[in-house]
Structure 1
Amino acid sequence: MADPAPRKIIHVDMDAFYASVEQRDAPALRGRPVAVGGARARGVVAAASYEARTFGVRSAMPSVTALRRCPDLVFVPPRFDVYRAISQQIRSIFADYTDLIEPLSLDEAYLDVTVDRHALGSARAIAQAIRARIAEETGLTASAGVSYNKFIAKLASDQNKPDGLCVIPPAAGAAFVAALPVKRFHGVGPVTARRMEALGILTGADLRAQPLAVLEAHFRSHAAYLHAAARGEDHRPVRADRPTKSVGAERTFETNLSAPDELHDALTRVADAAWTRIERHGARGRTVTLKLRHADFRTVTRAHSQATPVGERSRFLELGEALLGGLLPVPNGVRLLGLTLSGIVGEETPAQPTLL
């Protein structure tokens, strides 16, 4: 039997979404470095404008670090109700072109446009039409990646940002992936990237040269994904209205932590990163789960559920602190901490913990 025709997948990613909304609604902020978040001593950047990014300001960065890098940075408090409303407006545009929409967060989604509903002739033309309507109806810009699978479409959407379009046809997929730094691969965080660098794996081509057995020895359950990704392979379908199960973040430390104050400070940073994702997904849940991995790789989890959804970062962190306190002391040290919100109510966006 002949191989089925390749799918046509678009990954749409709004450009600096939160910050762009603030600049759109406040003309005085246009052209200035803007961070959405809190400027308090223990605040965190939820999003940064492109003007701020030129100074190295990034989301999930502590506010004090961001201000040190960019003294003229303007902090704006987040307006998640506004971001959610605009996200719904954008999603209604998507729905005019396909029913197969898999939101990843308020500002990005996968679309399967294998069926050309409006007979526009190509996935490229569909992506161009969607981007034009977003600009016209919201005053915001979006970048899009078009390819034959989700993995490459997501990489492509970041290729020509902001306000860009990148199309990777099936014949070019493997070469496109081979030329990219592995640190750009979805799911490869800074810690994993450093481990790869130590093994001489810097690009997709380097990764492809590694036998699966070698990847399994160093990256365990992540190995099969890395092996396929290096070859431009991804068979996951676009799943419409996939329910959220959990949203969170975890951090692997360069050196093991054992002092209680160090662990509590580290948990605060993990909670900030997790809460940024929780707000980005518009998620609310009833269960907070702490994940702790000891120096000997023994992993324990503790969870607390409450009757009402956790609605504030302070409560999220408070529950995490209580769970951590029940596991102290840890004389041999801790190599990883994670904090996750689950039991999600009233949302449909898919989310998984970020590997920091």
Structure 2
Amino acid sequence: MTGSGDASRAGQGHHRRSGSILHVDMDAFFVSVELLRHPELRGLPVAVGGSGRRGVVASASYEARAYGVKSAMPAVQARRQCPDLVFLPGDHALYLEVSERIMSILRSFTPLVEPLSVDEAFLDVSGSRHHPVEIGHRIRRRVREEEGIGCAVGVASIKFLAKLGSKLAKPEPTPSGPAGGIGVYEVGVGQERAFLSPRPVSDIWGVGPATLASLTRIGITTIGELAEFSIERLVEVVGKAQGRHLHNLANAVDPRPVNPSTEPKSMSREETFPRDLHTHEAIGAVVVGLSDSVASRLRAAGLAGRKITVKVRFGDFRTITRSCTPAGPVDSGVVLAREAKRLLDSVDVASGVRLIGVGVSELEGTGRHQLSLDDIGSPSWRDVDRAIDLIRDRFGDGAIHPGAKQAAGSGTNRWLKPGSP
């Protein structure tokens, strides 16, 4: 395994065989993007997310992380730990736009890029004539120069180790900002087991609190101990699939290739409410907006989905889902909202709902779409969707939105321009 010293020798007769898998991870991505348009906040503890009683931190600056603020932390707790924390609302359209530009940078190094989320991706650079560590540094320079954002890169022979490497390449949080961090961390070929052996088992993908407790009970605390443990006994403790998965990763076995396919498996949106909602009418108004957003993204990607899922989280954090499969693939906000509301009709919401989500899965290209009864007549919902998309393409996403009657679940559909009565 190597750090910054080996990285400086990359491309200069470096004798150690190197893995060809890179994991690139942006530094505090949402916050970093926000600070580009709010430079006056640099050096302050900043978080992106909901600041209300039900809000959750989506991203935190290194200054905020020094106080223990981290992603998925409730906003109330974050403020207790850092009273001076500055909260900014999220702008996911902007983050997606920046992400797409960053992914284009990555694809300029290799076509084998597998995005994991908006701020991280795997790359396979086995076809490049440049040393993988050198490529890692070049990526960091270009992302910094072109987008003004920092990132860390892990280099290894397998995905699991590359992702661990990027984590180790990141700087440490301090009240005055990020400190240290070598930027590119390489786990050399042949050094995998030695690198993994002393590390905690919690570093392995799939080891959450429950699995960690099970492993601790049988005396396993390090990856090295897990690698030497009887796989038969491990399967008895955590199950067959999980046992083999953990045993393989502990022994640096991860055959998964970098999959350059960028087609999403599903699309969804969800919203957490400042106060619990107790009626179908109130929840239905939100479902319309979520459905419109999901459908708009589907059409922009040229996709439609055959399965619709509604997610409901109650005030006590109990979470349920309801799903259905319509007669044909769906990419219309009106149709999606109608089906989502129908699913919600069977759910008792009187106790209070804190979160609602709408998702579409089993996606396929819209070129395979067949006419349904909804498409017959003039105008069809497909005509309405096309008109909406044209308006948004010309005037922006906020130019038109679902109106109050549809939101209230009246069965009619009004589309309003901002400021309309």
Task: Tell me, yes or no, whether TM beats 0.5.
Answer: yes
**Residue number in structure 2 paired with 1:170:** 189
SS in 2 for 1:187: coil
Q: 2:133 aligns with which of 116, 124, 127?
A: 124
Matched, 1:17 2:29: yes
Matched, 1:288 2:300: no
**Residue number in structure 2 paired with 1:159:** 168
Structure 2 vs 1, CA of residues 91 and 73 (structure 1 numbering), >3 Å: closer, same or farther? same
Distance in 2 between residues matched to 1:76 and 1:82, nearest whole Å: 14
Matched, 1:233 2:233: no
1:234 CA displacement: 0.6
1:17 CA displacement: 0.4
Amino acid at match of 2:95: Y
**Residue number in structure 2 paired with 1:39:** 51
Q: Residues 183-332 of structure 1 correspond to what in structure 2 (within 5 A)?
A: 183-220=202-239, 221-246=241-266, 287-288=308-309, 302-304=322-324, 307=330, 325=348
**Residue number in structure 2 paired with 1:30:** 42
Matched, 1:8 2:29: no
Structure 2 vs 1, CA of residues 244 and 212 (structure 1 numbering), >3 Å: closer, same or farther? farther
Q: 2:147 aligns with which of 116, 138, 146?
A: 138
Amino acid at match of 2:147: T
- Contact persistence 1:15–1:161 (CA under 8 A): yes
Distance in 1 between residues matched to 2:36 and 2:90, nearest whole Å: 14
**Residue number in structure 1 paired with 2:64:** 52
- Contact persistence 2:113–2:122 (CA under 8 A): yes
Q: Normalization by structure 2: what TM-score?
A: 0.61
Amino acid at match of 1:51: E
- Unmatched tracts of structure 2, length 5 or more: 1-16, 172-180, 269-275, 277-289, 314-319, 352-356, 366-421
Distance in 2 between residues matched to 1:56 and 1:318, nearest whole Å: 40
- Contact persistence 1:24–1:30 (CA under 8 A): no
Q: 1:63 aligns with which of 75, 89, 96?
A: 75
Amino acid at match of 1:136: E
1:227 CA displacement: 0.6
Distance in 1 between residues matched to 2:343 and 2:85, nearest whole Å: 31
**Residue number in structure 2 paired with 1:336:** none
Distance in 1 between residues matched to 2:72 and 2:199, nearest whole Å: 24
CA RMSD of aligned residues (A): 3.7
SS in 2 for 1:91: helix
Amino acid at match of 2:259: R
Structure 2 vs 1, CA of residues 219 and 80 (structure 1 numbering), >3 Å: closer, same or farther? same
1:289 CA displacement: 5.9
1:209 CA displacement: 2.2
- Contact persistence 1:93–1:133 (CA under 8 A): yes
Amino acid at match of 1:211: S
- Contact persistence 2:19–2:132 (CA under 8 A): no
- Contact persistence 1:46–1:60 (CA under 8 A): yes
Amino acid at match of 2:64: A
Higher relative contact order (CA 8 A, sep 6+): 1
Count of aligned residue pairs for this structure pair: 291
1:219 CA displacement: 1.8
SS in 1 for 2:94: helix
Distance in 2 between residues matched to 1:167 and 1:51, nearest whole Å: 27
- Contact persistence 2:18–2:132 (CA under 8 A): no
